[in-house]
Structure 1
């Protein structure tokens, strides 16, 4: 039994010690859980990246093989020089043709070096802005001759690589071949 003159309580040293122990425990818990929070968004970003990558790849594959390709359904392909067809574009000349914009790209190699970021403007093929859906995403496109990879003449196919970079800096690549036939 306590005497009426004695008081119960916590000393200042006990209080400070308790706060320090609590701070250490909370720091440990949050350092363990924070990587889980970042990884929990990865599947969502991967789905978004897949949507963006497939959309951009479909847009590119809808274009003709080369600037010199006959777009009217002719029988000659570029590089069939013996038959009177023009030579295909040199790989060093891949990229935009002059002041050409994305809506005017007419062959797959026009996309070589093409890149967009969601903070600037990511748009679809109809020039509808999708910035709000893909904020902090980036897309990069590389195109090169790759017929040799398929056991063909080196200039018989072009490989298109679309790289999507998510806000968590994951790089997701989509790749396809466009043949000259």
Structure 2
């Protein structure tokens, strides 16, 4: 019995079909790179937002636990406010950590006794290099973080600024007033900066 000619039944990709398949795959890869992959990176934003909120609140609690000014309640058992009984409040230009509270230009948090002592950058030397504020220590020096959690905060640092505030709370004051504004800026590299603000009154 003669063999059948099956040459006409054999099919494969033609050159044009192969080129078309490559073009379609290239378009699919462009879509993945342009839309899907960036969304994967954005999924880290809620993680950093939650960490920033926790760090910002913890730092603010640590700062607000201190008194209004270095000259407030000078004997630790009185109710004297600075500005009363000849105890002059610290001038705006002199706000910041005092000599006895600094060790090698870093703040001894345990010795800090008023809110403006914390004015500065809290992070590694590399993180604070681009800051206009003086580095006062590592983030862990200000906010106690367990060893297990330290890796979660390695890309986070703080900038703390404390200054006198106008009576209407509508801007920074250039003279001594009855309140200070505390600004804690939590920086998270490319995942955004988060600002926390509080006021401490002279009471």
If the length of structure 1 is used for normalisation, what is the TM-score? 0.82
Q: Separation in 2 of the partners of 1:114 and 1:12?
A: 63
Report how many residues are paired.
176
Q: 2 CA distance for matches of 1:109 and 1:19?
A: 63
Question: 1:140 and 2:159 equivalent?
Answer: yes
Paired residue for 1:112? 119
Label 1:60 to 1:52 Cα distance change in 2 as closer, same or farther (>3 A): same
Report the equivalent of 1:77.
81
Counterparts of 1:1-16 in structure 2, within 5 Å, are: 3-6=5-8, 7-16=10-19
- Aligned-residue offset at 1:180: 0.9
**Contact preservation (8 Å) 1:79, 1:88:** yes
Once the two structures are TM-superposed, the CA of residue 147 in structure 1 deviates from its matched residue by 4.2
Change in 2 beyond 3 A, CA 1:75/1:4 = closer
Q: 2-side partners of 1:57 and 1:173: how far apart? A: 11
* 1:64 equivalenced with 2:83 (yes/no): no
Structure 2 residue 92 is the aligned partner of structure 1 residue 91: yes
Deviations 1:102-153 (A, max 9, x none): 42222111111233259874215586565312021121101010142349x9
- Unaligned runs of at least 5 residues, structure 1: none
Contact 2:55 2:143 in 1 (8 A): no
- Kindly report the root-mean-square deviation, in angstroms, between the aligned alpha carbons of the 2 structures: 2.8
Q: Which runs of 5+ in 2 are unaligned?
A: 128-137
* 1:119–1:131 Cα contact (<8 Å) kept: no
Q: Mapping of 1:38-49 within 5 angstroms?
A: 38-49=41-52
CA distance in structure 2 between the aligned counterparts of 1:168 and 1:65, rounded to whole angstroms: 34
Task: Give CA-to-partner distance per residue, 1:44-63, whole Å, 9 cap, x none.
Answer: 21111010000000000011
